[in-house]
């Protein structure tokens, strides 16, 4: 057996080994899952019995029992008070109980065990008796003139007097509340309040007497009636005349009520309805006790059946757990066996990976060749890998030769670039020296010319004509323009060649500082957006850009007394902020959009607007030096919008 395995196992491919192992594992798992599903079907059948019959029947029986209790309470309340709401609620509960008894009958027909259906039929018969007795009691209560002559007489004679009396009292109270506050108003309001309170208590005592026939309620009626009469006399003595009620009418109403009350009490004491109602109540309690006993038996039977079903469920669950555990153990055993097969099959792959790592760390020609006698996929991979190593060794040799040549060329090119960098540095130094000479040697004569013209004008002031003074002023203006032009050239030459620290710049705060330093005409409005960023950048170049753009907007506006300039920003997704400075000035024709960014270029005559033509060229050079760009959106008569981008981060 072992000899045969040795002969055919090496020729079995790794793929077939893995497929065979997983097939056996899946068969074990499928067998276990089938047995678990079979247990689940039994579990589901028992659970369905509990959820679809036992629990609904038990809940329905309990609900019927509760409805019987509530309907009995509502019936007693109606018989005691006569309020129609109690009667309506009783009728609703009665209909619900009847409907639920029919539904319970339907459920128990499916599973009639322990004689529950028999007890339910008895409960339905008892419920029919309950409805008959309750109907008789309600009919007795609903015909007071025939069955309750005392109550009918009270409704006819006493109730109208009570309503009129309370209406007059309420009207008096309302009018007193509307009067201005005074000691008399407070005193009268107190009498009215006591009058209303004593009358209400007297009416409540009358009702309690009708229900209980207790002697103490007769005493309370006499007490509250006397107290009410005393307060009424106090109001009569105050001679109250408020326009809404009549105190004398109150006296008359109280007199009539006191006269009619003894007659009503006498007739009421002769009524026999209470004995009939008491008898019916006794019968109803007996019937409901029997009904609740039958329902309680059904509930108990359902609880017992549910407990038995739960026992079956617990037993089925335990069997399922045992079966699942056995399946798990069998799957683990098969998994271990498959793992052993896979490990035996992948060990050569691991050795091949180690060999590949060695190749990646050493030069290909230094790696010893790999030997493999396997006939499966791993053997084929090893032989292909060895061929790849041979080709890689040849490619490595060719790459080494090409690399040597490239290193020589890079060395030569680096030397050339170093020489050019030194020459460029010397050129920058010479340019800085030239800028210094220009700023020093040319500015000094210009200042001398300006000063000399002022001295000459002072010395011969009396003999100078107006034309000569105008020419002297023009001379000093040309000197100032030349001085600004030299300053502009110097600033332009230094853009991008002076080290600037990268700091956190609050653009909104910086714009506020710029505007404070400008001469802004009255009526000239500069709107700064609220969402301007705070970011790390070179502060001085950015300040120069905004200063030149804002000063140009002020300088070249044709109506500065009612001008408006807006400064805003857009956050772009490409790592840049896009700022814009937009005015409502005269605008610039499209054919001049490129010209204005050239050095010494202006659109206005130099005698009309003092300008060197260097500002926008400095702005363009600063922005492009930092990797951004600037453009102009404008048309003649439609204002101008200078839009430029600034990187969110600047590398030093």
In the predicted structure, residue 647 carries a pLDDT above the cut 90? yes
Q: Specify burial of residue 57 (Cβ count, 10 A radius: 0-12, 13-18, 19+).
A: buried
Helix (H) or strand (E) holding 328: helix 273-361
Query: Could you give phi then psi for residue 215, rounded to 5 degrees?
Result: -65, -30
More confident residue, 320 or 120: 120
pLDDT at 601: 61
Beta bridge partner(s), residue 576: 647
Give the list of residues 6+ apart from residue 250 with CB closer than 8 angstroms, or none: 165, 168, 169, 195, 232, 235
What pLDDT digit, counting tens, does each position of 594-603 carry?
778 876 666 6
First to last CA, the chain: 78
Given a contact cutoff of 8 angstroms between Cβ atoms, the answer to whether 642 and 546 are in contact is no
What pLDDT digit, counting tens, does each position of 192-203 carry?
888 889 999 988
In the predicted structure, residue 205 carries a pLDDT above the cut 70? yes
What pLDDT digit, counting tens, does each position of 15-39 carry?
666 676 667 667 766 666 666 666 5
- Alpha carbons within 13 angstroms on the beta-carbon side of residue 306 total 16
Q: d(Cα 613, Cα 537) in Å, to the nearest integer? A: 27
Given a contact cutoff of 8 angstroms between Cβ atoms, the answer to whether 55 and 306 are in contact is yes
Helix intervals (H) in 373-504? 377-437, 443-459, 466-494
- DSSP letters spanning 12-72: S-HHHHHHHHHHHHHHHHHHHHHHHHHHHHHHHHHHHHIIIIIHHHHHHHHHHHHHHHHHH
pLDDT bucket at 494, cuts 50 / 70 / 90: low
Count how many residues are written for the chain. 652
Closest CA to 543 of 608, 622, 602: 622
Given a contact cutoff of 8 angstroms between Cβ atoms, the answer to whether 205 and 217 are in contact is yes
Domain 499-647: give its CATH code.
3.30.565.10
Q: Specify burial of residue 176 (Cβ count, 10 A radius: 0-12, 13-18, 19+).
A: buried
- How many other β-carbons are positioned within 10 Å of the β-carbon of residue 533? 15
Q: d(Cα 600, Cα 482) in Å, to the nearest integer? A: 12
Q: d(Cα 447, Cα 603) in Å, to the nearest integer? A: 28
Given a contact cutoff of 8 angstroms between Cβ atoms, the answer to whether 220 and 207 are in contact is no
What Å distances lie between residue 197 and 230, 232, 312, 516, 546, CA to CA? 13, 12, 69, 80, 86
The ranges assigned to domains in the chain are: 14-143+293-327, 149-270, 499-647
More confident residue, 591 or 270: 591
pLDDT at 30: 67
3-state secondary structure of 376: coil
Percent of the chain clearing pLDDT 90 (strictly above): 10
What pLDDT digit, counting tens, does each position of 51-101 carry?
555 678 778 878 888 888 888 888 877 776 777 888 888 888 888 888 888
In the predicted structure, residue 568 carries a pLDDT above the cut 90? yes
Output the average pLDDT for the chain.
76
Given a contact cutoff of 8 angstroms between Cβ atoms, the answer to whether 106 and 117 are in contact is no
The residue behind tokens 């000399």 is 452
Say which CATH architecture domain 149-270 belongs to.
Answer: Up-down Bundle (1.20)
What pLDDT digit, counting tens, does each position of 379-420 carry?
677 677 777 777 777 777 788 778 888 888 888 888 888 888
pLDDT at 599: 67
pLDDT bucket at 173, cuts 50 / 70 / 90: confident
Domain 14-143+293-327: give its CATH code.
1.20.120
């Amino acid at each position: 057996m072992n000899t045969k395995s040795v002969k055919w196992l090496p020729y079995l491919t790794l793929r077939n080994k893995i497929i065979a192992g997983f097939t056996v594992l899946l068969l074990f798992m499928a067998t276990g899952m089938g047995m678990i599903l079979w247990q689940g079907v039994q579990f589901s059948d028992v659970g369905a019995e509990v959820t679809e019959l036992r629990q609904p029947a038990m809940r329905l029986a309990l609900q019927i029992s509760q409805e019987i209790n509530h309907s009995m309470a509502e019936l007693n309340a109606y018989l005691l008070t006569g309020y129609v709401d109690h009667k309506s609620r009783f009728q609703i509960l009665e209909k619900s109980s009847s409907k639920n008894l029919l539904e319970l009958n339907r459920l128990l027909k499916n599973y009639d065990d322990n004689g529950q259906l028999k007890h339910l039929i008895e409960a339905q018969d008892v419920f029919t008796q309950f409805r008959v007795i309750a109907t008789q009691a309600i009919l007795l209560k609903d015909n007071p003139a025939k069955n309750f002559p005392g109550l009918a007489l009270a409704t006819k004679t006493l109730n109208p007097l009570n309503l009129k009396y309370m209406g007059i009292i309420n009207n008096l109270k309302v009018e007193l509340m509307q009067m201005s506050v005074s000691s008399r108003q407070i005193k009268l309001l107190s009498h009215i309040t006591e009058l209303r309170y004593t009358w209400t208590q007297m009416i409540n005592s009358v009702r309690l007497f009708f229900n209980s026939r207790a002697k103490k309620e007769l005493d309370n009626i006499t007490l509250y009636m006397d107290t009410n009469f005393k307060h009424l006399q106090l109001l009569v003595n105050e001679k109250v005349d408020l326009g809404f009620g009549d105190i004398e009418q109150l006296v008359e109403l109280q007199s009539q009520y006191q006269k009619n009350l003894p007659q009503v009490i006498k007739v009421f004491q002769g009524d026999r309805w209470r004995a009939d109602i008491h008898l019916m109540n006794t019968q109803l309690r007996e019937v409901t006790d029997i009904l609740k006993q039958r329902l309680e038996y059904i509930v108990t039977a359902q609880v017992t059946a549910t407990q038995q079903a739960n026992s079956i469920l617990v037993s089925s669950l335990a069997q399922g757990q045992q079966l699942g555990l056995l399946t798990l153990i069998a799957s683990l055993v098969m998994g271990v066996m498959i793992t052993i097969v896979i490990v035996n099959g992948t060990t050569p792959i691991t050795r091949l990976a180690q060999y590949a790592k060695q190749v990646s760390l050493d030069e290909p020609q230094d790696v010893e060749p790999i030997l493999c006698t396997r006939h499966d996929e791993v053997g084929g991979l090893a032989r292909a890998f060895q061929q790849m190593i041979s080709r890689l060794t040849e490619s490595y040799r060719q790459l080494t030769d090409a690399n040597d040549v490239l290193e020589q060329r890079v060395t030569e090119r680096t030397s050339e670039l170093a020489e050019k960098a030194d020459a460029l540095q010397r050129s920058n130094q010479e340019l800085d020296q030239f800028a210094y000479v220009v700023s020093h040697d040319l500015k000094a004569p210009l200042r001398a010319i300006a000063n000399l013209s002022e001295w000459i004008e002072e010395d011969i002031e009396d003999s100078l004509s107006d034309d000569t003074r105008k020419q002297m002023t023009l001379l000093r203006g040309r000197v100032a323009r030349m001085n600004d032009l030299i300053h502009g050239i110097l600033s332009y030459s230094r853009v991008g060649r002076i080290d600037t620290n990268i700091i956190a710049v609050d653009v909104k705060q910086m714009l506020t500082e710029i505007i404070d330093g400008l001469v802004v005409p009255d009526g000239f409005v500069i709107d700064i957006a609220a969402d301007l960023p705070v970011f790390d950048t070179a502060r001085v170049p950015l300040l120069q850009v905004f200063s030149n753009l804002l000063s140009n907007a002020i300088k070249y506006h044709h109506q500065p007394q009612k001008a408006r300039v807006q400064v805003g920003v857009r956050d772009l997704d490409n790592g840049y902020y896009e700022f814009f400075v937009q005015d409502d000035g005269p605008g610039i024709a499209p054919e001049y959009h490129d010209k204005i960014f050239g050095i010494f270029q202006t659109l206005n005559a130099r005698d009309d607007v003092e300008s060197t033509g260097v500002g926008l060229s400095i702005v363009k050079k600063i922005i492009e030096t930092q990797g951004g760009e600037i453009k102009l959106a404008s048309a003649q008569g439609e204002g101008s919008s200078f839009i430029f981008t600034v990187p969110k981060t600047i590398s030093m």
